[in-house]
Structure 1
Amino acid sequence: MTGAPGEHLVLASGSAARRDMLAGAGVPFTVRPADVDEEALKASLTHVDAVELALELARAKALAVSRHDSEAWVLGADQTLAFDGGLVSKAPSLEAARIRLATMRGRSHQLHSGAALARDGRLVWSGVDTVTLVMRDFSDAFLDAYLASEGEGLLACVGAYRLEGMGSQLFESVDGDYFTVLGLPLWPVLAELRRVGVLAS
């Protein structure tokens, strides 16, 4: 599937899951991860909730790359995890991941996946989608086996799990869109790419 002549999309994210989603949907794009200090941005946005933070991070990434490529449509994306009234960041170690998952088992949390589209250094569109996930009350033995199987790759995931892998066994239910769990509100993004002519309608 191709878009209008001359319309080019850049994904401002290094996420393999987001690359796979776009490629699987037949979207032509190139990748240029945004040089954004996420921790500094989060520190400056302590007044916003998890939903707005996902949007702000996605917008910042789209704009950061768009300012250096005025001819391309730039897609930024980010995801936040809300649990027990607070915001969860990526675990710094497998032991930290173990503690976090043990705390979350038998309980629910929300994933908010934000996306933003920019052109010529200007924000054109942004949106967010939310999924509620309920972890089952898994055993310590399963948790240990899971961490051993998945390894340090989990540290790149905000929830220390990949639903497309063995992490699916951590859950008893997921209320919302599967793509949103993976890190991109894919249906709204595809609709916007059709609207601006990156994809054929």
Structure 2
Amino acid sequence: MSPGITLASGSASRRALLAGAGIDAASIKPNVDEDAAKAAMRGEGMSVRDQAMQLAELKAMKVSARTPGLVIGGDQMLSLDNEAFDKPADLDAARDHLRRLSGKTHTLETAIVVCENGTPVWRHMARPRLTVRPLSDAFIDSYVEQAGEALLSTVGAYQLEGLGAQLFTKIEGDYFSILGLPLLPLLDYFRTRGALES
């Protein structure tokens, strides 16, 4: 019998990506204090990339310790000049994010870890690079007004699948990873485990 699949996340976008690929995954929020974990990691001088991987693993392990089968933990952090960006707290913070990203290239450190019986069994890191065109203050104000509160759920204050497409001149990396889940390598792993037909 193939192992069940659980997503250790409350992320609607990750759930939608799995469902769109035909994965019927349960979803359990891991109840991890991400702010405290990030503060500790940043206090140690940990790279943005390693922070994302550690958080993905922490989420997966927490849920996997009490949930049978394969548990997916994911995390995504935006890195601009080796500085981590967190989700904006309000729309003013979203405007500030966009001003800082304007005319620059940033990396989305997109980590995924699969755990089984509380132990990591597979890890993957995708690192899409996105170049934001120079943005005028007038455009930023209009964009934030149109996109609204949805911007507060993303580290970059954009959603590529919506109005956020207008921000970029160049994107390197796959679409699924930009949305927060490196789906193709994950599906490959599930096939090797017999969780999906090969």
Q: TM over 0.5: same fold? A: yes
Root mean square deviation of aligned Cα: 1.1
- Do the aligned partners of 2:48 and 2:82 also contact (CA within 8 Å) in 1? no
Question: How far 1:63 moved relative to its partner?
Answer: 0.4
**How do 1:93-132 and structure 2 match up within 5 A?**
93-132=90-129
**Counterpart position of 1:37:** 33
Instruction: Tell me whether 1:198 sits opposite 2:181 in the alignment.
Output: no
Over the matched positions of the two proteins, sequence identity in percent amounts to 42
Instruction: Tell me whether 1:24 sits opposite 2:6 in the alignment.
Output: no
Which secondary structure does the structure 1 equivalent of 2:127 belong to?
Answer: strand
In structure 1, distance between residues paired with 2:133 and 2:79: 17
**How do 1:30-69 and structure 2 match up within 5 A?**
30-46=26-42, 47-69=45-67
In structure 2, distance between residues paired with 1:150 and 1:162: 9
Question: How far 1:36 moved relative to its partner?
Answer: 0.6
Unaligned runs of 5+ residues in structure 1 are none
**How do 1:167-186 and structure 2 match up within 5 A?**
167-186=164-183
TM-score, normalised on structure 2?
A: 0.95
In structure 1, distance between residues paired with 2:82 and 2:7: 31
The AA in structure 1 aligned to 2:26 is: T
**Counterpart position of 1:12:** 8
- Do the aligned partners of 1:112 and 1:180 also contact (CA within 8 Å) in 2? no
Unaligned runs of 5+ residues in structure 2 are none
Question: How far 1:139 moved relative to its partner?
Answer: 2.0
In structure 2, distance between residues paired with 1:197 and 1:106: 45
The AA in structure 1 aligned to 2:120 is: L
Question: How far 1:6 moved relative to its partner?
Answer: 4.9
The AA in structure 2 aligned to 1:7 is: P
Aligned pair count reads: 196
Question: How far 1:191 moved relative to its partner?
Answer: 1.1
